Amino acid sequence: MENFFEKLDSALKNNSIVKMTLSKSVSKNNELRNIYVKPILLKDNKMYQFTYRYDRRDETKNFDARQMMEQVRSMVPATFQNVSLFTLTEDVTLLVSKKGKPTLMCKKINENREVDMNHDHEKQRLIDPSNPWWHLLGLTSRDGKVIADMQHKFKQICKYVEIVDGVMRQTKFDDEIHIADMGAGKGYLTFALYEYLTTHYDKKIVMEGVEIRKDLVLKINDIIEKCKLQNFKFIENSIENYKPSNIDVLIALHACDTATDDAILKGIRNNAKLIICAPCCHKQIRREMEKSGKTDAITKYGIFLERQAVMITDAVRALVLEYCGYKTQVMEFIEIDNTPKNVLLVGRKSDKPVDKEALAKQIKELLGQYGIEEHYLWKNLWKNCRAY
């Protein structure tokens, strides 16, 4: 251990540090995943920039050489068990076992390295707007700057990636993650998620965007081909008729009315590990409520009837997912001042036993309370399927 810190101290004195990474958290519950360190010049003073990589955000702090050494000593091995130090002449790796035994590996290097002292003043983004597909999709200029009219859209895209990343990190996947984005539209969110996952996940990402409009599918596949993106394609099909070979993650954002239900059914019947939906309009249940003529002190007002239809539709969707063995979560998707479509429904496959009889009773009582004869998802769950 002390041999490592002697080498770190020597590299500090010789100004030969290129970069350093602290990894392998001692605690599985630690939200801090890694720390990346690089030298920078800040107002003509040499400093060391620490980037703290959390599950859903990055934080950056700058330290001088003495503070830098203190920070590393406080973190290793108390918080992190692995350190990779890259200098101008040597690669140094410190590995600490679960029992606290340190192993030091040193490798002399022959390549010509340089110390990059540039300080990145730009705000760190989950998505890199300089990637060529963003210009081809119409969000950025040729030099990779987000177009003024698209600033708000780009912010929403980044927020979406942040939320989905947080959900996915709570789910265990194999070495390949197959993702189906249902009703993918212009592809903004599909490209954003593909870019982020292929950059930040140490797994093979296989992405399919499902879109019924032929012109959009042709355009997006042309962009994918031009940018040479691997394991990524758009398919011309409806959500209902889409027949995937494998789904680990099913995503359906703002699929209109019962198209959201078709997407959820597709995920359930393909045993998806994760189902993520942001429901759109809820016409089917509103029609059922109006047809029944059954109102109460709330639903006799049109605007409240609309909101109640929304809540009933999505509540039943959540209960159906639970019935089919998913742990469900309902959260806010985008700030309500940006769009009223602000509910994200998440279903995560669980091995825990389910009281199907109790859940079926809840669904039937909820529908009966408002005179609803059928809920599209609940009705179609049983269609051509004996599993339930």
Report how far residue 167's alpha carbon sits from residue 272's, in angstroms, rounded to the nearest whole number: 14
Q: Are the C-beta atoms of residues 30 and 54 closer than 8 Å to each other? A: no
Q: Are the C-beta atoms of residues 301 and 307 closer than 8 Å to each other? A: no
Looking at the DSSP bridge assignments, the partners of residue 94 are 83, 104
Angle between the 356-369 and 302-323 helix axes, to the nearest 10 degrees? Answer: 170
SS3 10: helix
Q: Are the C-beta atoms of residues 6 and 66 closer than 8 Å to each other? A: no
Q: Are the C-beta atoms of residues 277 and 321 closer than 8 Å to each other? A: no
Amino acid at 248: D
Q: What is the pLDDT of residues 344-368, one digit of tens each?
A: 899 999 999 999 999 999 999 998 8
Q: What pLDDT score does 121 carry?
A: 45
Give the pTM: 0.65
Q: Please count the other Cβ atoms lying within 10 Å of the Cβ belonging to residue 160.
A: 23
Low-confidence ranges of the chain (pLDDT < 70): 56, 116-125, 333-341, 383-388
Report how far residue 257's alpha carbon sits from residue 284's, in angstroms, rounded to the nearest whole number: 7
Domains and CATH numbers, the chain: 2-108 (no CATH), 132-380 (3.40.50.150)
Q: What is the pLDDT of residues 328-339, one digit of tens each?
A: 998 876 543 444
